[in-house]
Amino acid sequence: MSPSAVPHSTASDHFKDDLNLSILGLGVAYPDVKNGPEALDILARRHYPESKALNKVLSINKFTGIDTRSTIATVDHPAVNGSEPPSIAELDNIFRQEGVRLSVNACRKAIKEWGGSIEEITHVVSTTCSNSANPGFDHYVCKQLGIRSNVEKVLLHGIGCSGGLAAIRTAANLALGLSFRHKPARILVLACEITSMMVRSELDSVHKNQEVRIGVCLFGDCASASILSNGVGVPSSTEPIYQLLGWKHDVIEDTEQDLGFDVDPHGWKVILTPRVPMLAAASVQPAFQDLLNSLPRYHKQDLPTTAAEFDWALHPGGLTVLTGVEAAMNLTPEHLRASYEIYMENGNSSSATIMSVMNRLRRDEGGRENVVACAFGPGIIIEMMIMKRPGLAMVNLPTEDLD
């Protein structure tokens, strides 16, 4: 049976014209270290003998389209220079330090831009695929931020690169529940990934199994955060960054073996088959059309109905994912400019990347008012959201490196 791209129609599940859901603050925190493609070559040659599989991986590494990857450490970090790759316990310790630190930084940026008080936060929705400790990393982030212990928390796992958009979707549904009760929702959404420390684990598999594993060429580290509001109690003068209009979640059937992140004694192992770019590209058009059909506002005259009339915040899973969706949807690189820029400058930071792309896109004063956000995760999951930028001529935006 061939995979079916987004087979389950939700066109009958129409969204109301005004959900009154908006993002009021965005924050992104990348680590200070920037590693070029040569960093992987250095580590590989330092620890492994030449082989056909390793040479192939290092060749691919030169043509990913990534100029630099943001990572928490240089190639000389002790954790990636032992006689064996770091254990999952060692990786957990690193995440609890560096991941929590980056997360707190990203959250503080989002909260500062929102301008509200920590006391107003009603929920926290977080996600990661590069840590699975209990309590989750969100517990420690909330403690450092000073968030009340009775604030409800949700930690999403098992959804990989789609996690950032899935977290926003989850927060949106929570916010609608509070709207029904006429209560305010100020939800902190957080995504954090520390993947760079798994480089030795991936190279170990390349060496021992003679597998061509391209995930080791793509991933970096990042934390990103946003504040989502349901509008209850928000001053009418408040201008949101994005208004959320509707969303879609679905699974491409029979593709579990194509994209994954499997647990291993030395962390996690990326599963990424050559079919992924084709599968991802083929799923976007039916998902986009189905989502558009569920939004009554786009049935009206003079509103955009084609993909090219929207800006696109596409998760940059890889260069062929970006170019594949671009071709399938009759887009240009200009439509995906934020995705390309983040990919080239920082690589793929899994779930944390989509909010970084949204953050970059909202800074473009010449952009389109309507935006499609889209990401893919293990399953293969597709997450899609349509948003509106109410104010394009935005001034006094915080800089991306704001502490």
Query: Mind telling me the catalytic residues?
Result: 161
H or E, element range at 269: strand 267-272
- As a whole number of angstroms, the distance between CA 24 and CA 116 comes to 10
- As a whole number of angstroms, the distance between CA 41 and CA 37 comes to 7
Ordered DSSP codes for 149-176: TTSEEEEE-S-GGGHHHHHHHHHHHHHH
Burial of 120 (0-12, 13-18, 19+ CB in 10 A): middle
Ordered DSSP codes for 291-347: HHHT-GGGGSTTS--SGGGSEEEE----HHHHHHHHHHTT--TTTTHHHHHHHHHH-
- 251 has which bridge partners? 381
CA 81 to chain centre: 29
Maximum alpha-carbon separation in the chain: 65
Residue among 229, 172, 196, 191 nearest 358 (CA): 191
Give the HSE-up count for residue 115: Cα atoms under 13 Å, Cβ half-sphere.
10
- Cβ-contact 100, 137 below 8 angstroms: yes
Residue among 104, 137, 132, 317 nearest 225 (CA): 104
The torsion angles phi and psi of 233, rounded to 5 degrees, stand at 85, 5
- In three-state secondary structure terms, 380 is coil
The structure tokens listed for 155 are 């930690």
- In three-state secondary structure terms, 208 is helix
- As a whole number of angstroms, the distance between CA 318 and CA 63 comes to 11
Residue among 393, 387, 10 nearest 172 (CA): 387
Residue among 34, 139, 53 nearest 95 (CA): 139
- At 169, the amino acid letter reads R
- As a whole number of angstroms, the distance between CA 169 and CA 374 comes to 12
